[in-house]
Amino acid sequence: MIKLIKRASAEARAFRQAQRDGLELEIERAGQHVKATKGRARKNGAAREDLADDGIKNAREQGGRRPRFAPVTFSEEGGVRFLHFGTEWVQGAMRLRHPWRLELEYAQQMMAWLLFLDAPARIVQLGLGSAALTKFCYRQFPESRVEAVELNPAVVIAARSMFALPQDDARLRVIESDAWDFVNDAQQRESIGVMQIDLYDATARGPVLDSVAFYRACRDCLSSPGMLSVNLFGDHPSFERNLKHLRTAFEGRVIALPEVHEGNRVVLAFKGPALAFSEAQLAARARHLEDTTELPARNWLARLREVTDQAVDFAI
């Protein structure tokens, strides 16, 4: 199984150096401006000189003109291409010979909502990454409209140029927007059957949006029935906070699946009427999913039993 932690890249070191160089350049420019301004300040009083001194202070406090987003970088190993945000942390992966498959185990487990719901009319991904989940849903569910929300335009370009994401069409749409703005848009209310959330920054240690308000807004976007799947980090302090906030937003109807590789834990949240399945029904769904999608659905079912302690029937 592919590990999520990779070696530090030359691009990451270059990015950190660029940040330091940017700060030094900004301070140098501020200093040059101060010299010119102080000369004029002698004619106009001390107040101008104080304002000039603020140039250096602001440059130091703001850290120079740093890029808004971390750089999008890549690596390849063993026939797999990896996406990074300027660090050693993997943000997505694609096996070059099978670009439509889900390479990482946690990404496969993000699809565990299929044990409980058929593919809905609309599926939304928050955080595009390498577009693995977006591509999979687009190809696997021809009756579904698939959308991805991504703030960084460079990630969208990378997904299309390096990770085989098709151009938008009648069923596929990539929206360049902040996920917070998207879920708080009244037009999204009760219109999404399944929402998949994988919102990580360059350090990949916890979601960038994790408040009760955010998860409530996500719930409001879901139709009834509807489901949320979220990628969290089980061995990070953010996990318990996210789980608590999800339980509050979804009235306790939340299941945290056991940890997969490198600490990832997928959490499922449910909206709508209560769901109930017999052991036989879930087993039949799992077999069908394995036959039609090649996803390890029976493994999901086994992991589900570990955390729900419901050996015969399942209800939530």
Read off the DSSP letter of residue 164: -
CA distance 166 to 181: 25
Contacts 24+ apart (CB under 8 A), 237-245: 237/206, 238/205, 238/206, 238/207, 238/210, 239/206, 239/265, 241/210, 242/206, 242/207, 242/210, 242/267, 243/267, 245/210, 245/211, 245/212, 245/214, 245/215
- Looking at the chain, how many residues does it have? 316
Cα Dmax for the chain = 88
Q: Are strands 264-271 and 222-233 parallel, antiparallel or unpaired?
A: antiparallel
> Whole-angstrom Cα distance, residue 266 to residue 281?
22
Check if the beta carbon of residue 294 is closer than 8 Å to that of residue 101: yes
CB 133 within 8 A of CB 231: no
Catalytic residue among 54, 198, 220, 235: 198
Residue 198 bears catalytic tag: yes
Enzyme catalytic residues: 198
